[in-house]
Amino acid sequence: MSNEIIEIKENLTKLAIMINMLIPAKFSVSFLSENTGKSRQTIHQYLVNNFEPDKNFWREGGKVFVDRQTAMSILSKYNNKIQLAA
């Protein structure tokens, strides 16, 4: 039984690594807007009210980006079907 648990943990770790490789490390507010049906302003206001600047979201070249975890939180909040494909 103990060996089975260790094997399951190893497989879950491998799966988590593969999922992280498939999901981008950052998402643009425009992408989130398109996939949730909410305006960029709505997404931005939600970020300002609920997340930390420079940690969870930041500006790069005139665009606002969010980290992976923040994006997943927003997508799950505003969209019943998480669509990661472009």
Does 1 reside within a domain?
Answer: no
Q: How many helices (H) and strands (E) in the chain? A: 4, 3
Does 2 reside within a domain?
Answer: no
Q: How many domains in the chain?
A: 1
- CATH, residue 63: 1.10.1660
Full DSSP string of 39-69? -HHHHHHHHHHHS-BTTTEEEETTEEEEEHH
Strands 57-60 and 26-28: unpaired
pLDDT given at position 67: 96
Which tens digits make up the pLDDT trace of 2-27? 899 999 999 999 999 998 899 899 99
pLDDT given at position 82: 52
Does 15 reside within a domain?
Answer: no
pLDDT given at position 6: 92
Residue with token string 């500006």: 59
Does 75 reside within a domain?
Answer: yes
pTM value is 0.74
Higher pLDDT, 65 or 76: 65
Does 67 reside within a domain?
Answer: yes
Residue 35 sits in which domain range?
A: 25-86
Does 85 reside within a domain?
Answer: yes
Rounded percentage of the chain residues whose pLDDT exceeds 70: 91
